[in-house]
Amino acid sequence: MKEMDRKRRNKEDITPISKTREWKLLYYEHGRPGLEDSSEYRGLCRHCELCATCTLPKSEGGVWHCKYYIAGAKKTSFYENVLKQLEKAEDVVHFDRDICKILAATMNEFVVHFPVKMDDGGLKVMTGYRIQHNNALGPYKGGLRFHPSVDIDEVRALATLMTWKSAITNIPFGGAKGGIQLDPADFSSNEMERIARRFTFALGNNIGPEYDIPAPDVNTNPQIMAWILDTYLSTVTPNERNRCLHVVTGKPIESGGSKGRNKATGQGVVFLIDKWANDHGFNLKGATYIVQGFGNVGSWTSRLMKEKGSKLIAVEDVTGTIFNSEGIDPDDLANYVKNHGGVLDYPNAKPIDHETFFSTKADIFIPAALENQITAETAPLLNVKLVAEGANSPTDLNGDIILQRKKIDVIPDILCNSGGVIVSYFEWLQNKRSEFWELDEVDNKLHKKIINAYEKVHDTAEKFRVDWRTAAQVVAISRLESVYKERGIFP
Ligand code: NAD
């Protein structure tokens, strides 16, 4: 069956170069004589490296290259990037094409328009999104983002990544994401509360503790989760209320949140960096790192890296970019950001520009802001050994090819920032069981789960001789494929 699928796919997508060398057909859009026997080029995107250095004549319609090579081509959208990564994994393992078709689509998409009263007595009609990508493994799960860049494409992409994340970490959740296109700087705290509450009300029963469970993401926080919880509880009957605490995770601890959830994503990033360092005989004490984004993920990762003895030397956020070769104290900076809203004008560092930030020589780069930051323009500037992706999809396809070419290790997003959803799962479990776990219990369980996922990705990368991003994707899709195969498709 797989063989048939593969042939069908080849016929559709790829011009064959040799009937006897089937493996090649998977990798090339255009045949090129002379390289078929070279195992050096066996693998996805090897040709992209070749394209950059190739001295052989180009074919008439342009260069010939692996189908994932897109440098110089139009910029792909965030969602297209995510789907391309799925395709890449599909080609490595030859997953069932029909199951991949299911996974390439979102299951439900809600777009809600709702009115919100402003402080000045006026009214604004806002637009919110909730996209449920897949629930084969359990209830839909994923954060809510309030940001000017939020649109349906972005939310689809983020929802899809959530499915992979739950699958890779072996937790019983599916994937979803939501958001509202807004700039929080334009609204007072009271207005933000009314926006969060009206959005929750507009979503109605399309979220729920056993159905779809939101959590914090960019510009949303435990306070916003508490408002969402309170609004949701107000819409269910009184005798159900205490059974619905787990409708959101990332709540304040007093409102049913879990110890360790606030730092969980950063904690997971640091557990993985530590594991990578151990595996590579690299000493984190005295190592240097730079961080993009100093919100929840960036600041917690930085503060926990400090405990490892590593030195933060440059930070970029939406307000500015700062550098100090002697080191920036993450706790002091976190305090400053709390009071000033960003890193701009932080007194114990000097301002630098965006390009200088990306060119800063350091051991580790932790992107912890938005998607598509490591690109064809910025990846060539990077001078680091490891990129640990705290953010979702910070690297676009071009950026990824360049990182591989530069032999920079990457702990990919769906593994690297999965600490958040893992501890969200722990919070959900504690709420369901009316339990409160101590911090060391949460941390130990997080460590076990995330290192287990790391090892699976490591072994898969070795087995298929692929990069870690593809390997992570393969681990996730394998789990989903097994579930679909076991259950079949109704009817
Ligand atoms: P946050 O709102 O707490 O912080 C976002 C940070 O990014 C801020 O410091 C902001 O100034 C900065 N930023 C925004 N635009 C920027 C730009 N153009 N250039 C540089 N910096 C910019 O958000 P967060 O929760 O820390 O999320 C950060 C990333 O981590 C996102 O990609 C999010 O999806 C991902 N993530 C978050 C969690 C979580 O638990 N919060 C879990 C997994 C993944």
Q: In tens digits, what is the pLDDT along the chain, a chain of 491 residues?
A: 344 444 444 433 333 223 222 323 233 333 333 333 333 333 333 343 334 333 333 343 443 444 444 444 446 789 999 998 998 888 888 899 999 999 999 999 999 999 999 999 999 999 999 999 999 999 999 999 999 999 999 999 999 999 999 999 999 999 999 999 999 999 999 999 999 999 999 999 999 999 999 999 999 999 999 999 999 999 999 999 989 999 999 999 999 999 999 999 999 999 999 999 999 999 999 999 999 999 999 999 999 999 999 999 999 999 999 999 999 999 999 999 999 999 999 999 999 999 999 999 999 999 999 999 999 899 999 999 999 999 999 999 889 989 998 999 999 999 999 999 999 999 999 999 999 999 999 999 999 999 999 999 999 999 998 999 999 999 999 999 999 999 999 99
CA 321 to centroid of ligand 1, rounded, Å:
15
268 CB near ligand 1 (under 6 Å) = no
**Residues with Cβ < 8 Å from 10, sequence gap 6 or more?**
16, 25, 26
Side-chain half-sphere exposure of 466, counting CA atoms within 13 A: 23
Catalytic residues: 177
Region of 266 (left: φ > 0; alpha: ψ -120 to 50; beta: rest) is alpha
- The structure tokens 């009817």 sit at 491
User: Is the distance from the beta carbon of residue 420 to the nearest atom of ligand 1 less than 6 Å?
Assistant: yes
Angle at which helices 189-203 and 222-234 cross, to 10°: 50
CB atoms within 10 A of CB 433: 10
The predicted pLDDT at position 75 comes to 61
**Tokens 């933000």 -> residue:** 192
pTM of the model: 0.88
Give the number of the atom of ligand 1 that is nearest the alpha carbon of residue 371.
Answer: 32
Under 8 Å between Cβ of 141 and 174: yes
CB atoms within 10 A of CB 248: 31
CB 412, CB 403: distance < 8 Å: no
For ligand 1, whether the C-beta of 220 sits within 6 Å is no
Query: Is the Cβ atom of 316 under 6 angstroms away from ligand 1?
Result: yes
Task: Report CA(388)–ligand 1 centroid distance (Å).
Answer: 14
Q: Is the CB of 344 under 6 A from ligand 1?
A: no
Instruction: Please give the full DSSP string across 236-292, using - where no structure is assigned.
Output: S-GGGGGG-GGGSSS--GGGTPPTTSTTHHHHHHHHHHHHHHHHTT---TT-EEEEE
Task: For residue 316, report the distance from its CA to the centre of ligand 1, in Å.
Answer: 11
Which amino acid residue places its CA nearest to atom 20 of ligand 1?
A: 317
